[in-house]
Amino acid sequence: MLSRVSAERSLMLLPPLHRVPLRLGNVVEIAGPSPSAKTQILIQAAVYCILPKEWRGVHYGGLEHLVMFIDLDCRFDILCLSQSLKHRLMETSGSGNKVNWEQNDDPWGSGTEEPNIGYDEELFAACMRRFLYIRCYDSFEFLATLKTLRYRLQRARETHGVTAHFLMIDSIGAFYWVDRASTSLHLESNSRKRLSLQSISETVVEEIRKLLLVHPMLVLATKATILGDTYSTNEVKRTSMKLSSNDPSNLRTVTGGPQKLSYREFMPLVWQSFVTHRILVRAADDDPANSKYQSRSIFLSEWLMPSLNFSDKFIVRDAGVFVVS
């Protein structure tokens, strides 16, 4: 009963994922063009998960659980995670053993130099061990990983004494065009079964569903979008066309003032139906109000599912992602 209650408890993540309460079992799609800080958002969520709630009397406010990160883009740099974690530890050490996870200001100021504050190396090593990383180079490896992931997570649970809370996939559409270009993919040379784009997506969704029954986790998946026109700086409002079951590539429209942006939903319908939450991130237009952040890129985030009537503006620094006014 305690395990079930814990799994059903809402999770309040860090910006820009802080607007909507999430639960284990939810599937969150972080969509946006490249670059739009999608991987940085995953890194910040991972740091939040692997940090302990408290360590030697110091409050860190983390979840102290495992993170399973599946890298399909094959571009993830573990040093980025390491650097972000060190900044979080130093931030806590320099703040009198309290961290404000939902702060709206940049604690590092407008400069690029980090404060000369030490961190607990034993805690750093313990947190890094809770980050589990797998790299897949094609759909075959991705499917093989999903089919064996329950056993990996079980061994990791026995080793670390905690369960995995986050399953991260970066990015879910990495092999889409390769699989689409292949008319058929053979599982084995003498096998009759063929893997098409549709069957691969169905198998991915089926394997993740079965995995979540055994190991309840929050799924965070990034996805690159195919964009049309540029955004305006006005508040973005979304109007979506009805999904067609016959055409997996649905054209969506995001409006903002007089300009419109069209992006094509290229993932098969089986994946679209599997997603429970969707957030769109993008680079902000040039705006005089952003002049004080000239050294940093400004990004906008908007929840499409559920649809919210406002968007957040945020910047990315070594210490993490921060909402700005």
Say what the pLDDT of residue 57 is.
86
Residue pLDDT, tens place only, 31-89? 998 888 999 999 999 999 999 999 888 899 999 999 999 999 999 999 999 999 999 99
> What gap in Å lies between CA 169 and CA 149, rounded to an integer?
13
More confident residue, 133 or 321: 133
- For 190-199, which contacts have Cβ atoms below 8 Å and span 24 or more sequence positions? 195/139, 197/268, 198/248, 198/268, 198/270
> What gap in Å lies between CA 93 and CA 87, rounded to an integer?
10
Which amino acid is residue 139, in one-letter code?
Answer: S
Domains of the chain: 27-93+119-182+196-229+260-286+295-323 (3.40.50.300)
Mean pLDDT value of segment 308-316? 87
Contact indicator for 67, 312 with CB cutoff of 8 Å: no
Q: Report the mean per-residue pLDDT for the chain.
A: 79
**How would you classify residue 320: left for phi > 0, otherwise alpha for psi between -120 and 50, otherwise beta?**
left
Residues in the chain: 325
Residue pLDDT, tens place only, 225-234? 865 544 433 3
Structure tokens at 139: 């759909």
> What gap in Å lies between CA 193 and CA 54, rounded to an integer?
51
Task: Kindly state the DSSP code that residue 292 receives in the 8-state scheme.
Answer: G
Does the reported pTM lie above 0.85?
no
Say what the pLDDT of residue 291 is.
53
Longest Cα separation, the chain: 65
More confident residue, 3 or 68: 68
Say what the pLDDT of residue 261 is.
53
Sign of the torsion formed by the C-alpha atoms of 51, 86, 39 and 298: positive
Residue pLDDT, tens place only, 91-128? 887 654 444 444 444 444 444 444 445 678 999 999 99
> What gap in Å lies between CA 159 and CA 9, rounded to an integer?
25
